[in-house]
Amino acid sequence: MTQLDYILQQIVNAVSLGSLYALVAVGLSIVFGVLKLTNFAHGDVMMVGAFGVALLVGIGVPFPVAVICGIAAAAAAGFLIERIAYRPIRDAPDVARLLTSLAVTYIIENVGILVFTSSPRNFPLPDILNTSWEMSNGAITFTSINLLTIALTFVSLLLLGWFITRTT
């Protein structure tokens, strides 16, 4: 592997990871714009969805169905957090809202540790998402999950931009 191959591989990795960061950042921006709240539990809601998918796939639910259920679980968690924790303190001082957001994060993370432990685990992916393509005699690898992440981020951001500019 030459130095150029290494740099190109890191660019591929950075674009894929940057796509995930872009989705997280857009979500945080929307929450802050609507609720005027720094939602530290944003990542924890994503964790609920991811663990929901992993749990369902682990018990034999087909991956596409598990993904839809994971998205629903994350949406339900976000809805419940907003109704139970954030809505009652909407007009409270900023420090109270900040502390509530931190408390929600603490609770979700610790419940996750109790239920799933803190041990690392592999995320079960179907074979089609574990496919990879190599360039430059194997020096640069494109995985289907990386390409799917980039493509879905691009489409999601385009649709969100269209929705925001076309609706009031």
pLDDT tens digits, one per residue of 111-145: 999 998 889 888 878 888 888 888 777 778 888 99
- For the chain, give the mean pLDDT: 91
Q: Is 40 helix (H, G, I), strand (E, B) or coil?
A: coil
**What integer pLDDT is reported at residue 124 of this predicted model?**
77
**What integer pLDDT is reported at residue 129 of this predicted model?**
84
pLDDT of 41 above 90? yes
**What integer pLDDT is reported at residue 14 of this predicted model?**
96
**What integer pLDDT is reported at residue 126 of this predicted model?**
86
Q: Pick the residue with more confidence: 38 or 102?
A: 102
For residue 134, list its beta bridge partners: 141
Whole-number Å distance between alpha carbons of 30 and 25: 9
Whole-angstrom distance between the N-terminal and C-terminal Cα of the chain? 52
Whole-number Å distance between alpha carbons of 87 and 74: 18
pLDDT tens digits, one per residue of 2-24: 888 889 889 999 999 999 999 99
Whole-number Å distance between alpha carbons of 116 and 168: 42
Percent pLDDT > 70 in the chain is: 99
**What integer pLDDT is reported at residue 123 of this predicted model?**
80
Where residue 43 falls among pLDDT bands split at 50, 70, 90? very high
pLDDT of 80 above 90? yes
